[in-house]
Amino acid sequence: MGSSKAGIYVDSMNIVRNGGYGMRYEVLRRFASRNGEEVVRLNAYVAFDEERAGSDPNYNATLNFISTLRDLGFKVIEKPIRWFKDESGRTYGKSNADMDMALDIISQSDRLDVVYLLTGDGDFCNVVNMIQNKGCRVELIAFCNVSSQLRREVDLFVSGYLIPGLLPTEAPQMGGPRWGEVGSRVRGVCTKYLHDKSYGFLRFMHGFGKLWITDTRQDNSPFTSVFFMEKDLPAGVYADDLPSREHIFEFTLAEGDKGFLATDITMIYQYHS
């Protein structure tokens, strides 16, 4: 029996506007094939300003971004930016990929087993439900401003902040320790908190694999537990709100007596149900 076939669909405009600036598409591709899936469709929908491309040398960054995506095997769907004027006469640009992306997903899902959807737009709930009814699994990856309804509709939501290497950490160090090593900055969530003892455990993803094996005591779990004290929680985070999958923390891994210890904890983002 052949491997499962996967497709990746990225609303690059939505991702960039909502916390994903600097996302590494090569890491995304590796994540989508983490369990041996064959990634056969890779679509990225990118805003493109034809006028600036022909006249503005500073637009080279966008052109280079498009070229890089193509080097990684993505089909780039360029959505032209349309220019409008508001009531005050101010000019603003607008580009929307929703319709093209939705139609592509629906028409191509017949030949896919898994769809990786990268957007936070709740308008995709009906699309998700439609392809699920055809037997396709849908996993959502996004950063901030993600529709709570969309998160509930998909088979799995993985915050892009938590995927190792997908987005640079708060203070990357050239030549420093890799994600998951002592001294590295990683991101995770609080999965256990003992209110009577004022300490808890954060869980971070140390590698790609079977994400349903959440018990960090199992050898094949892609997750690691990290001890922390209540006194080390960042300002504005209260122990009464923990444990929580909604709070995304970034922290430095230190070596404790019985394993990893979280230090310099900051909160990156909080999702809302």
Tell me the per-residue pLDDT of 64-96, one tens digit each, with 9 for 90 and over.
889 999 999 999 999 876 655 666 766 545 557
pTM, two decimal places: 0.90
Neighbouring residues of 207: CB distance < 8 A, sequence distance ≥ 6: 164, 180, 222
Query: According to DSSP H, which parts of 18-87 are helical?
Result: 25-32, 50-55, 60-71
pLDDT tens across 218-259, in order? 999 999 999 999 999 999 999 999 999 999 999 999 998 889
**What pLDDT, on a 0 to 100 scale, did the predictor assign at position 57?**
66
- In angstroms, the CA 121 to CA 15 distance is 10
Q: CA triplet 94, 59, 19: central angle to 5 degrees?
A: 60
Q: Compute CA distances 92 → 55, 86, 100, 125, 203, whole Å.
A: 18, 8, 22, 28, 42
Task: Give the chain's mean pLDDT.
Answer: 90
Higher pLDDT, 182 or 3: 182
pLDDT tens across 148-163, in order? 999 999 999 999 999 9
130: its two tokens: 């439609």
CB atoms within 10 A of CB 16: 16
